[in-house]
Amino acid sequence: MALMTGEQYIESIRKMNMQVYMFGKKVDCPVDDPILRPSLNSVRMTYDLAQMPEYQDLMTAISPETGKVINRFTHIHRSTGDLVKKVKMQRLLGQKTAACFQRCVGMDAFNAVYSTTYETDKKYGTHYHDNFVKFMLYVQEHDLTVDGAMTDPKGDRSKAPHEQADPDIFLRVVERRPDGIVVRGAKAHQTGVLNSHEVIVMPTISMKPKDKDYAVSFAVPMDTPGIYMIIGRQSCDTRKTEGSEMDVGNAEFGGVEALTVFDDVFVPNDRIFQNGETEFSGMMVERFAGYHRQSYGGCKVGVGDVLIGAAAVAADYNGAAKASHVKDKLIEMTHLNETLYCCGIACSAEGHPTESGAYLIDLLLANVCKQNVTRFPYEIVRLAEDIAGGLMVTAPSEADFRDPKLGPVIEKYLKGVNGVSTENRLRILRLIENLALGTAAVGYRTESMHGAGSPQAQRIMTAR
């Protein structure tokens, strides 16, 4: 099969029978739900850009196994050049969507599981790597979107998985059968899981021998019986149901997270990548975290580009573009954003091959990258809010703006510089609001803090 088009991707998700719940009700058709559809559009962009000749060098790669063109999100990094292109691709997609495009987690899981299974098989004579390569080729052939699921709810953080009052608070194997395993538990904060064909599950922490049942990795389709998702709330999410494009800020694109429950899900043997090898759970976690922390040097920078541009436009519309302090703030925002990009490129350029032949980033620099991401976007947002002004959060609704009586009043009193309509001024302010406080903030501001591990996780790795 050739690379899927964006429309083919949408229809492939539509055909899946996923179990999705939101606001206490089952969502009958997630693809067409107004709250959820913008997140699907963001993933679609990863397919649309791969079809465009000008972006194919970044968006696609040649599979060494088949010699065919594949989407880079399904590729195993074979050089530092691959690692660098990954970051550049992520920045491009951040610029195009101004949101989380959701496929990074699966790509990072792909690469972590590939090298870890190779070394597990080398020690134990297992067949996990063969299982994964078979799965990888299937994903590449059908151009599928794969999510990565690592974060367990964790319960009492002071206790190991086997010590928890509720043994299901970490995902675990509850039954081992001749033809596979049965797993139970949940994965939290699952970005893009709703828009994925498959999910790769990984352990969330290093495991000790007593936690053998929790040292498990596998892949299953998202409509496998026993899997269901509970969608997470986002700030301003119900604005998408009001019929106002302006008030949403970024009406076309967005992100989505879910609590994903595995209620006695069967996993066949050929889809298992780890099953009790506790000493390799830490390796898988460390490598995935490293890859994902590298990712933030691309995706967050691309969204930052949009925010900086929007702030500059707001300054123009406010008539403040020539003010020296505004110029200095835009320079500072750019400096911080490009510093994040430097870290993403540096940890890629300093990468090295693992025993499997797949390339791993420089783990120290990847953790430095993510540590900066837990700080710099907050300052970029603060400066953008400063430049935009208070109208960003006090502007009337689009319904008021379209009202025959109120509209002319809003037009009169909220106008900025001559030559720019009041509507355009309000639109750019709503975009900034969306990036700073609204649904896109999940993929930029707050997610910069906790995605790929909280700040302390990077400090622990830096010390190590």
**DSSP symbol at 164:** S
The active-site residue out of 47, 118, 291, 296 is 296
Closest residue by Cα to residue 367 from 229, 460, 248: 460
Nearest-angstrom CA–CA distance, 374 and 153: 21
Q: Check: CB of residue 422 under 8 Å from CB of residue 413.
A: no
191 belongs to an annotated ligand binding site? yes
447 is catalytic: yes
104 is catalytic: yes
The active-site residue out of 260, 299, 347, 444 is 299
The whole-angstrom distance between residue 427's C-alpha and the CA centroid of its chain comes to: 26
Q: Is 231 left (phi over 0), alpha (psi -120 to 50) or beta?
A: beta
3 state SS of 428: helix
The active-site residue out of 117, 191, 204, 354 is 191
Q: Which two tokens stand for residue 180?
A: 């596979």
The active-site residue out of 9, 60, 74, 100 is 100
The active-site residue out of 277, 385, 398, 447 is 447
Instruction: Give every strand in the sheet of 180-187, ordered side by side.
Output: 25-26, 20-22, 227-231, 258-268, 180-187, 172-177
214 is catalytic: no
The active-site residue out of 75, 104, 214, 444 is 104
299 is catalytic: yes
The active-site residue out of 77, 145, 257, 398 is 257
DSSP per residue over 144-160, as a string?
A: --EEEE-----SSTTS-
C-alpha distance from residue 403 to each of 66, 251, 282, 392, 424 (Å) = 59, 21, 59, 20, 17
The active-site residue out of 75, 77, 129, 292 is 292
Which residues are tagged catalytic? 100, 104, 191, 257, 292, 296, 299, 447
Which amino acids are annotated as binding site, given as ranges?
191
Which amino acids are annotated as binding site for FAD, given as ranges?
191
